């Protein structure tokens, strides 16, 4: 059984700030990275779903990674999202991330074109073998339209670079079986963070962590210390924030950027279409949830 926290224990899938003209705001990127590192994080995921990777270019992803590395140095592990629905593009992203010097790659199941199990396996194999950087597979059927099969997991864990899974299926029993296969599990669902940690996850990859990094650190540390009573109390205090962040359509970049604006880390909540920024009523509801959780 694996219990190695290859990429740290408290990670957030970081937003990508934008300027008024829609270009990537690298100064904003660095502000967010420093904010997270100063609030409980020992890992950052760059250019994941919450980073709006579906609408950023290969060049922008490289610039964003370099900006984060310059901002935080070696204070945290940096994981680069390289998953797309085009294997060639994913290989290109993986190779450029390796050149930047990242600590890990996040590889989501190909979306939209919905390959079968053999296609998913070969996609993973091709990208994972393109570099020697450790890989975290990402299983999120609500966004990709397919679930990674257990046979695929059984094969992928035999490869040198594949070591972890970001789990967003909600299947705690299967997660336990993946741990038995040798995977390190990271919770990919803030609402299930406590449950995943109690089932043996080594850490979390969060969205709420944009606003609640210190609380996530307390939660992870309490579970690691075997203090489940404190962990439950910490989780319960976070629930209003979790509900608020996850309570709107297309939560993630939209809610995280609005939370950072409320916290004063960013001065805007711009996203790229087809996403649209939260309206004032949605921001008011988010503010209420963050306040109830003691974060504002």
Q: Is 166 a catalytic residue?
A: yes
Q: Are 208 and 238 contacting, i.e. CB atoms less than 8 angstroms apart?
A: yes
* Set 77, 111, 153, 166: catalytic member: 166
Beta bridge partners of 187: 167, 204
Whether 111 is a known active-site residue: answer no
What is the token pair recorded at 127?
């990208």
Measure the CA–CA gap between 61 and 64, rounded to whole angstroms.
Answer: 5
Given the residues 138, 183, 186, 235, the one annotated as active site: 138
Q: Is residue 70 within a helix (H) or strand (E), and if so which, with residue range? A: helix 58-72
Give the helix ranges, DSSP H, for the chain: 26-37, 58-72, 87-100, 117-128, 141-144, 150-156, 172-181, 193-198, 209-224, 228-245, 253-263, 280-292
Structure tokens at 44: 């950052």
CA distances from 43 to 73, 98, 201, 239, 240 (A): 12, 16, 15, 22, 24
* Enzyme catalytic residues: 138, 166
């Amino acid at each position: 059984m694996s219990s190695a926290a290859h990429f740290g224990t408290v990670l957030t899938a970081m937003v990508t700030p934008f300027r008024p003209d829609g270009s990537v705001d690298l100064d904003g990127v660095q502000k967010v990275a420093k904010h997270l590192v100063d609030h409980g994080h020992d890992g950052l995921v760059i250019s994941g779903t919450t980073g709006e990777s579906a609408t950023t270019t290969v060049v922008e992803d490289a610039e964003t990674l370099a900006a984060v590395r310059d901002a935080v140095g070696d204070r945290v592990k940096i994981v680069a999202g390289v998953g797309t629905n085009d294997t060639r593009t994913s290989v290109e992203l993986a190779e450029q991330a390796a050149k930047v010097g990242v600590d890990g790659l996040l590889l989501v199941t190909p979306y939209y074109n919905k390959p079968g199990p053999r296609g998913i396996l070969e996609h993973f194999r091709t990208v994972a073998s393109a570099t020697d950087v450790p890989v975290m597979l990402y299983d999120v059927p609500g966004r990709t339209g397919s679930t990674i099969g257990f046979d695929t997991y059984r094969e992928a864990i035999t490869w040198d670079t594949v070591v972890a899974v970001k789990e967003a299926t909600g299947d705690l029993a299967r997660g336990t079986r993946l741990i038995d296969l040798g995977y390190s599990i990271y919770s990919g669902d803030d609402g299930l963070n406590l449950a995943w940690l109690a089932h043996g996850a080594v850490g979390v990859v969060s969205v709420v962590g944009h606003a609640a990094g210190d609380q996530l650190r307390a939660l992870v540390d309490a579970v690691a210390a075997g203090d489940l009573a404190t962990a439950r109390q910490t989780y319960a205090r976070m629930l209003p924030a979790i509900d608020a962040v996850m309570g709107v359509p297309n939560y993630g970049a939209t809610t995280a950027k609005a939370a950072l604006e409320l916290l004063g880390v960013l001065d805007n909540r711009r996203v790229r279409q087809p996403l649209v920024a939260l309206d004032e009523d949605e921001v008011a509801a988010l503010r209420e949830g963050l306040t109830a959780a003691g974060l504002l």
